[in-house]
Amino acid sequence: MSDAITLTCKWGRTPIPASSTSQAGYLLVEAIASPALAPSLPLNVCFVLDRSGSMQGAKLDNLKAATRQVIERLQPNDIAAIVIFDDNVQTLVPATPVGDRSQFIAAVNAISEAGGTAMSLGMQAGQVELQKHLGPDRLSRMVLLTDGQTWGDEPLCRDLARTLGQSGVRIAAFGLGTEWNEQLLDDIAAASNGYADYIASPAQIGDFFQKVIQDDRATVATNTRLLLRFIRDATPRTVYRVKPIIENLGYQPTGETAVAVRLGDLVGGQPVAVLIDLVLPPRAKGRFRIAQAELHTTPVQQTGEVVIKQDILLDVADQVGPESYVPEVMNLVERVTAFKLQTKALQEAATGNVTGATQKLRAAATRLLDLGELELAEKAQQQATALEQGQQLSPEAQKELRYATRRLTQRLEEQ
């Protein structure tokens, strides 16, 4: 199994110049599993769907169509459940093998909009259904969709997500339109080792739902962690996930010279990668062992953990030219920088620091232009101008910038 999971480590610059003082460096660590390894484990999935009054019309029509389509593509030995919530909750279909789809389709067709939004009720009911079939013989997933704010129960939603994550359930949390709380969905996703995303148009719901099931079907290993053991005086400053999305992972110190980060699941054929910004110690010319990378992951249908180790070597030379920069890594650095700038801009706008937000939005726009992301660059410029004119950032633009810059490395893979 370990032979079919590849672990690679690349520096942003190689060789680096010899120096008598410390210098900055970027390290890309990437893991990828062969898609041939995917054993197509049966799924244990619960759809937790907002049917509040604001979902009327195209939103609800597309949600029902997307749910019917994904049910049709599930396997007969998959387990599925459907829960709907407004300010009440209803389990339309309890956890049931998807042999006879007619009851699922009939239940979906009968959904109508009503009431307000109490998301924790839907999550609690979904948890009950998912717990019926938890175990290593299935991959468990909650697919959560909402289009509005949930009031008064946000702490409970976070607690439920944490409990679900600890039991092995990943949450795919989707926000539809502009009125939902992106920080809450991000927190729910992070607490369960899942992910959150923004669905701008109701017509896109089906694509997002299908992607969840496709990735779950192709999952090769779960509970993937990366442990980096550095030599003394090599100091990590930040750790960002860069594939499949950009995310500030932070890191968990495990001693004076080691850090660990959670990478989640490995989907066959899809790389998972982190970018580490670190301070390198002074070095003369030569080749040096700077760190050891350890990838810990649990293949599906196996109980034992696989550990893959690789030494990380650094080349140092007296004469170093611009050709020493590694384009693949430095391009990722630029994309992470654009993401960080817009993140800080939105944070400063939320605290009323208009000058700081404007400056960072314009800096992000410049980076995005350099990367060829013309539409995103234009949105950033427009929002900077709006702030200067005393206007508020539009909810749509905030969500577009937040989630589209998070997907910048996916766009790179598509080029």
Q: Measured at the alpha carbon of residue 301, what is the angle toward residues 295 and 307, in degrees to the nearest 5?
A: 15
pLDDT for res 253: 62
By the 10 Å C-beta count (0-12 exposed, 13-18 middle, 19+ buried), 68 is classed as middle
The stretches of 192-326 forming alpha helices (DSSP H) are 205-217
Q: Give the pLDDT score at 101.
A: 93
Look at residue 53 and give its three-state secondary structure: helix
Q: Determine contact, residues 213/45, Cβ cutoff 8 Å.
A: yes
CA 233 to CA 56: how far, in whole Å?
A: 59
Candidates 324, 274, 316, 280; CA nearest to 295 is 274
Sheet holding 169-176, edge to edge: 89-97, 79-85, 43-50, 139-146, 169-176, 195-199
Q: What is the largest CA-CA distance in the chain?
A: 72
Residues in the chain predicted with pLDDT less than 70, given as ranges, are 1-3, 37-39, 251-256, 411-415
Place of tokens 């953990």: 305
SS3 content of the chain, % helix, strand, coil (to 5): 40, 35, 25
Q: Pick the closest to residue 412 from 301, 246, 191 (CA basis).
A: 246
C-alpha span between 226 and 211 (Å, rounded): 25
What pLDDT, on the 0 to 100 scale, is given for residue 414? 53
Residues present in the chain in total: 415
Which pLDDT score, from 0 to 100, does residue 410 have? 84
User: What is the model's pLDDT at position 411?
Assistant: 58
CB 275 within 8 A of CB 333: yes
Phi and psi angles of residue 194, each rounded to the nearest 5 degrees, phi first? -105, -145
Q: How far apart are CA 23 and CA 209, in angstroms?
A: 45
Strand, coil or helix: 373: coil
Neighbours of 285 (CB within 10 A): 12
